[in-house]
Structure 1
């Protein structure tokens, strides 16, 4: 969650506090594994039953957690916050907690904490300066990343990277907000989330200088007040895109 100059956040402390954190989401299993079914037993009208099961594997948990710890080692504040709900989900989330404790032993230089998802939602609002890298399951990170984007000013600002850590398969880079078909072709969409995702792609390709140039162009554009409606401006999608290109040419 990067708070951009010129973009007003609903958080008052963002005006005078340095806020910058990353949400690391496990998106290959967890609550979105797609296990379950509906109308079990054919109970008739009014008696339908739906079962939705979450799948947590030790391998999947460890992979995303090691990625989060490695990422934390590259940041100014070396801290990983694990998001859990093991007080209510006593199998999958307890496995998550156990793996987190074990993996943390290999990173003694990184501070850790384990926070229930409801408490973490409050922390995003009340004490975001205490965050650096937040690692969470598929569902929990999905919700928290949207919350963080809104706190930064708009969902239209948020970039994301769907990474294959082993690099055996292509990774995917896209804005958090999705395709937004309801405003397609109207010049309302904020292109910053997509351009920020391109910066993440450049970093993944081993081009940090080029990624930094793109991020600086984003900051120069917002600082100049060239903003789409979702962040309180009047600029169109084309206006912001042109400003980004102009900033890159400087």
Structure 2
């Protein structure tokens, strides 16, 4: 049995998680996979009621599970840094989820904003627990004319080595090509160090082609040459920005999944769509569940159920191909419930 902690979160989070669970239930029954769920109401609503996104023993509670399925976090009235640092980032860091994996594909039926985007299929591998998103720094002279803020970046040999190794190992299973995002011509300490360590790790993978691109040029090439890329590895900030840009290139952030991984499996990994809580459409039944469903497929793969994961992804491909089973954000006419039912039907009928 695999135990899953479910955190629907805010806004459309509960709607897309309900869809993901319906698809998981269908594929689990078909393949005789035993999944158990425990749901937690940790959210901005909880923060407004109790002053915290999750209880003091939240991390200890989650440590007993095999995986975490998260819907979305964020709500008007609760600052983003409060919701993020009160739930998502503590989970990532306590469980050493140092890989943020974000696959990018252009699916049939989903129009990319680019003129030519056929054949786009790559993965952004983001370092997820250090880099630019450190907690080191502070504010000085608050309220005075000389007020200032200092934020320190933290890059370690261990952190860079393990994310680079993950990227190269992943490329070996794909098309054998890694691109490293950098800005070592402008950031003179941390990024040259990043370049040095990634190049050292590349020597251990002579069968994988490797190059390095400055982040500004790389962002342009994501738009101009998206078919070129296979595995793109970047620091916490660069990976964050590039993955959202790549999702837009693929046609919609609404279909974008992510996996926060502890590759050692010592701690639970966390799976979540990246579209956010979308309070403007919450409760209307029109949310696109594809990102959550794809995240659930990544979870199945992580839990060593590759055939089930492949069937979920195939069902998603099929529903996206027709406007009758696409939500309005992708030019379709289907509701969240319609898409969910179509996904379940396709999973059950898959051979």
**TM-score > 0.5, shorter chain as reference:** yes
Match of 1:183, SS? coil
Superposed CA deviations along residues 164-188 of structure 1, whole A, max 9, x for unmatched, are 0111110000001133333221122
Q: Which residue pairs with 1:243 in the alignment? A: 342
Q: Which residue pairs with 2:154 in the alignment? A: 55
2:133 to 32, 52, 61: 32
Q: Cα 1:212–1:119, aligned 2, differ >3 Å: closer, same or farther?
A: same
Count of equivalent residues: 245
Superposed CA deviations along residues 179-213 of structure 1, whole A, max 9, x for unmatched, are 33332211221100000001101111111100000
Q: Bigger relative contact order, structure 1 or 2, given CA contacts below 8 A and separation 6+?
A: 2
Q: Which residue pairs with 1:130 in the alignment? A: 228
TM-score calculated relative to the size of structure 2: 0.68
Work out whether 1:11 is the aligned partner of 2:114.
Answer: yes
Q: Which residue pairs with 1:23 in the alignment? A: 124
In the TM superposition, residue 44 of structure 1 has moved relative to its aligned partner by: 4.9
2:200 to 102, 111, 123: 102
In structure 2, what is the Cα distance between the partners aligned to 1:69 and 1:175?
Answer: 24
Q: How does 1:1-250 map to 2 (within 5 A)?
A: 1-14=104-117, 17-38=118-139, 40=140, 42=141, 44-75=143-174, 77-225=175-323, 226-250=325-349
In the TM superposition, residue 248 of structure 1 has moved relative to its aligned partner by: 1.0
In the TM superposition, residue 43 of structure 1 has moved relative to its aligned partner by: 6.8
CA contact (8 A) 2:134 2:151 kept: no
Q: Cα 1:44–1:161, aligned 2, differ >3 Å: closer, same or farther?
A: closer
CA contact (8 A) 2:120 2:250 kept: no
For structure 1, the 5+ residue unaligned runs are none
Match of 1:182, SS? coil
Match of 2:276, SS? coil
CA contact (8 A) 2:258 2:272 kept: yes
In structure 2, what is the Cα distance between the partners aligned to 1:118 and 1:188?
Answer: 35
Match of 1:103, SS? helix
For structure 2, the 5+ residue unaligned runs are 1-103
Superposed CA deviations along residues 94-137 of structure 1, whole A, max 9, x for unmatched, are 11000011000000000001001111100100011110000000
